[in-house]
Structure 1
Amino acid sequence: MNFKSNLLKARSHIIFLIALGCGLALVTAIDAASETRADTQTGAVAMAEFDNVTPLKLAVTGSSSPEDLAHAQIAWQYFVNNTDPETGLVNSTDNYPSTTMWETGSYVVAVLSANRLGLIDAGEAESRIDQVLDTLIDMRLFDDALPNKAYNVRTGALVNYANEPVERGLGWSALDIARMVAALGHVNAHFPDLAPKTAQVMARWDLEQMVDDGQLIGGNMADGTLRHDQEGRVGYEQYAAKAMMLFGLDTYRAYDAQSHLMVRHVEGQPIPVDDRLHRNITPAFTVSEPYLFDGLEFGFDARSARFATSIYEAQEARYRNTGILTAVSESHIDEAPYFIYSSVWGGGADWAVMSFRGERLDSKRTITTKAAFAWDALFGTDYTRELVAAIAPLGDPERGWPEGIYEVDGSTNSSVTVNTNAVVLAALAFRAHGPLIRAGQ
């Protein structure tokens, strides 16, 4: 076969690698530009608070211990149990057949991580992802434009949050779609033969509708009318912007955390907080989640490394000051309202726990499984090892990892979810191989 034929055969791979390089170069350029304009932009004083934060070194070990692999196998069991054979989609929580694009992205990350860890071979990993891509190509979109906020796992049909069919749908979440876009980028890097199908998926999505003037835009139904709203706050917004940049979309304003940054000091640490309201209801909150994803998938940038370090060190400091193990993030809980945001700072207070609507639920603060495993993989400190040791007895080889431990009484938060088990796998794969974006490792 001659050079020209080989070049044609590899064209999809080459295009992806060029786009990936351009996207990462754009991120680097924005970092540099932001630094040179720091004295003129809103939030410069707040950003300067992080100049003295020394980022913790990433704790990539290059290997997996037998204990790591045992923990990973527990997490993978969730996906063995909850993958639908017809659609290839995965239940958002154990035996509950609904999903979002965020959760589907988590499943794809879990498959890639399981393959990196040797739990499944490349053939099974590629087959599982291929089936998901087929479903994404076939499933109906909201207004034929973008993925709906929720889908039935068994049928691929548009549903509401009660998993009931809805004709038009609920609208779209820009953050959820960006999470799926990040996963597609990782697929291209690790299984380039699937790049033509990921291109088919993204060709169906009118991504221009969810990016406007460099910002991420969500579509929300209100009284039968579609409303377009800026979506994302500091942390989540920058993670999502990186994902979109991988495919050449202009999300500069979403990546620019400085414009809406304020600082709150918690346990002596500067904590990055958004100055906008969360869902236009309650003061914004800071949780571990977006920084865990950024580190495990992209390996941090200069800014997110400092933010993540401060957020982690505040949690360790709380433990040192109170004796209370602390690893907070958003999580499911096993009773109403079923979902909470356990913050480092949120709703106007340190360590606030809030519902989706902003009610305080501090009694449901959870030492979260995913934060424990992820912080340990990222930073590998004595404290993170204490966290994992506390969580380790909860692993259920038949079901997977539950959400964690309720701080108030030490009982188990027994909800078992796709996101937590995906993060456990991503964390353990990171320990052995580094960030997910490193293809071929």
Structure 2
Amino acid sequence: MQRKIIVLIIIAIIIFSFLFLYPISGKIYSRSYLSSEKNLNAKWLELAKIAWNYFQLGVGVDPITGLHYGTTNWHYATDWDVGVYIQALIDAAKLGLLPYDGDQGFDFRVKKVLEWLNTRKLTNESIPFLVYNSENGLPAIEAKEKTAHPSDCGKLLLALYNLKNFRPSFELLINRIIDRHNFSKLATSQYFASNDIYAWYSAQGYLKWNIKVPFLREIQNLGNGKYIEIYGESIPQAWITSEPLINAILELEPNELSICLELTRKVYLIQERRYFSTGLLTAFSEASYIAPYYYVYQWIATPDGKTWSVYSNGQQIKGVPLIVTRIAFAFHSIYNTSYTNLLIEYLLPKTITNFGFYEGVTEDGRIIPILSDKSNGVIIGATRYYLEKIYIMH
């Protein structure tokens, strides 16, 4: 009871602050907000601030444990989600949105997460559980018999590696985390031999820590030599979508991305050309979705040759595709084309809120009013990527 009272008080204060101190202005955040070159850097940063609001205490972060939520309505986190949060903290600090010191500063928040990772309950084989309750840090009751997916741990490992490089003072704590988890066992999973771009991306986290991934299928081997042509671009006949590709570009070093950059460019062009051919704005990825599916994976291509398919719980569904907000922002930061401008112009007024950005809008115009760590984390990362790119160019 005491915990609930404390949480309610904190949430009330935060809501009051955001509603009265940080109103969203339809005039300021107009459809053409990022189309104009005037003060573009400042505009990107302003939108990153909105995305960062998701990670405020009582919104997307538990005010007691310091652990974050996968969505504002789902107070749990997978290891993939934990990786999202750590990377968001790094990007927010680089952008100056998060001070290093003080109560709820970067060091305080990171230490909370690392200390939890160093003490959280694991299986008898030192494998993480699939999902943890962010309100108490314990394995979720609903998934207590399930272990973490190898891809989730790969995402976490990549974020921990980036954190170690960004803030070396945490190296000892991070090394302890690596030592107490049996990540090497997960790295031997046959999952990494699958015909799936996610497997390649998540494997990069293991490789950063010199953990061998013996069954890894490299990008050039996706499709088993088979390619599928979509709107004039040839891509591997494999599980292909935007999410792991844009994550790789935002999180890996440029010298690690040669083949990935080429595939990402093709994946982007295919989606742009789909719009010009059909009139349907396209930004495919995984995302939260409407009932009864709740979460979907939108595939541009699949190993059996299908295109533009939507899956939920491993089964293809007839759901209307979703224009995913974070993919639009990521593509805009990477390519900045007339089409990415069009995506932003369409999505911005529909998805911006006081507490971050909604997941997206379906092709038939239904807004998905879900605030997630993934969408807001990627938008912060996309801003950091864009501003770093501008800095290097000048």
TM-score normalized with structure 1 length = 0.74
Gaps of 5+ in 2: 1-36
Q: Alpha carbons of 1:103 and 1:414: their partners in 2 closer, same or farther (altered >3 Å)?
A: same
Give the 3 Å change call, closer, same or farther, for CA 233–414 of structure 1 in structure 2: farther
- Distance across 2 between alignment mates of 1:67 and 1:394: 17
Greater Cα shift, 230-239 or 84-93: 230-239
How far the C-alpha of 1:371 sits from its partner, in A, is 0.6
1:192 and 2:173 correspond: no
Contact 1:110 1:422 in 2 (8 A): yes
Q: Deviations over 1:350-404 (max 9, x none)?
A: 21112122122242x1110011001111112121111111111134442211111
Change (3 A) 1:258 1:302: same
Deviations 1:263-314 (A, max 9, x none): 111111112233xxxxxxxxxx311011011111113522111111111100
Tell me, yes or no, if the aligned pair for 2:194 and 2:217 is still in contact at 8 Å. no
* Other structure's SS at 1:172 match: coil
Structure 1, unaligned stretches of length 5 or more?
Answer: 1-60, 218-228, 275-284
Asked whether 1:373 is paired with 2:349, we answer no
Q: Per-residue deviation at 1:349?
A: 2.2
1:247 aligned onto 2:209: yes
Corresponding position: 1:354 with 2:332: no
SS at 1:73's partner residue?
Answer: helix
Q: TM-score, normalised by structure 2?
A: 0.82
CA deviation profile, 1:103-148 (whole Å, cap 9, x unmatched): 1100111111111111111221122111100111111012241111
1:414 equivalent among 369, 372, 383: 369
- Give the aligned partner of residue 152 of structure 2: 176
Q: Residue deviations 1:389-432, cap 9 Å, x none?
A: 1111134442211111110x212111211111111111111101
Structure 1 letter corresponding to 2:246: L
Question: Aligned partner of 2:297: which letter?
Answer: Y
- Measured in 2, the distance between the counterparts of 1:372 and 1:250 equals 34
AA of the residue aligned to 1:351: W
Separation in 2, partners of 1:94, 1:155: 16
Alignment partner, residue 200 of structure 2: 238
Identity %: 25
Which of 399, 423, 430 aligns to 2:385? It is 430
Q: Is 1:205 matched up with 2:184?
A: no
Deviation at residue 251 of structure 1 after TM alignment: 2.2
Give the match's secondary structure for 2:355.
coil
CA distance in 2, matches of 1:76, 1:426: 10
- Residue 192 of structure 1 and its aligned partner are, at CA, apart by 0.5
**Cα displacement (A) at 1:232:** 5.0
CA distances 1:197-223 after superposition (whole Å, capped 9, x unpaired): 1111111111221122xxx45xxxxxx
Contact kept, 8 Å, 2:195 with 2:217, in 1: the verdict is no
Indicate the residue corresponding to 1:49 in structure 2: none
- 2:196 alignment partner AA: V
Q: Name which of 220, 225, 231 aligns with 1:267.
A: 231
State whether structure 2 residue 165 is matched by structure 1 residue 154: no
Aligned partner of 2:273 in structure 1 is 317
User: Is the 8 Å Cα contact of residues 77 and 397 (structure 1) preserved in structure 2?
Assistant: no
Mark the CA change 1:434 to 1:201 in structure 2 (over 3 Å): closer, same or farther: farther
**Shift of residue 334 of structure 1?**
3.0
Greater shift, 343-352 or 173-182, is seen at: 343-352
- Which residue of structure 2 aligns with residue 305 of structure 1? 261
Distance 1:255 1:64, change over 3 A: farther
Q: Distance in 1 between matches of 2:353 and 2:222?
A: 44
Name the counterpart of 2:347.
Answer: 391
Distance in 1, matches of 2:193 and 2:65, equals 29
Work out which of the residue numbers 33, 45, 55 in structure 2 matches 1:69: 45
CA contact (8 A) 2:192 2:199 kept: no
Counterpart of 1:125, as a letter, is: F
Cα distance in 1 between the residues matched to 2:209 and 2:202 = 12
The residue type equivalent to 1:273 in the other structure is: Q
| DSSP 3-state at the match of 1:353 | strand
Asked whether the equivalents of residues 78 and 131 of structure 2 are also in contact (C-alpha less than 8 Å), the reply is yes
Native 8 Å contact 1:71 1:395 kept in 2: no
Match of 1:94 among 63, 72, 75: 72
Counterpart of 2:175 in structure 1: which amino acid?
A: A
Structure 1 residue 85, shift from structure 2 partner: 2.6
Which residue of the partner structure matches residue 139 of structure 1?
120
Matched letter for residue 107 of structure 1: Y
* Equivalent pair of 1:334/1:415 in contact (CA under 8 Å): no
Tell me how far apart the structure 2 counterparts of residues 314 and 395 of structure 1 sit (CA, whole Å).
24
2:249 alignment partner in structure 1: 295
* 1:87, distance to aligned residue in structure 2 (A): 2.4
CA contact (8 A) 1:73 1:397 kept: no
Report the more deviating stretch, 85-94 or 368-377. Answer: 85-94
CA RMSD in angstroms comes to: 2.2
After alignment, is 142-151 or 256-265 more displaced? 256-265
* Mapped partners of 1:270, 1:377: distance in 2: 24
> 1:153 is matched by which residue type in structure 2?
S
**SS of residue paired to 1:138:** coil
Contact 1:174 1:231 (8 Å CA) reproduced: no
Separation in 1, partners of 2:80, 2:148? 11
In structure 1, the residue corresponding to 2:64 is in which secondary structure? coil
- Counterpart Cα distance in 2 of 1:310 and 1:376: 15
Residue equivalent to 1:56: none
**Paired amino acid for 2:277:** N
Q: Which amino acid aligns with 2:311?
A: M
Residues 155 and 231 of structure 1, relative CA distance in 2, 3 Å threshold: farther
Contact 1:64 1:431 in 2 (8 A): no
Deviation at 1:330, TM superposition (A): 0.8
Within 1, Cα distance between the matches of 2:290 and 2:167? 36
Q: State the partner residue of 1:110.
A: 88
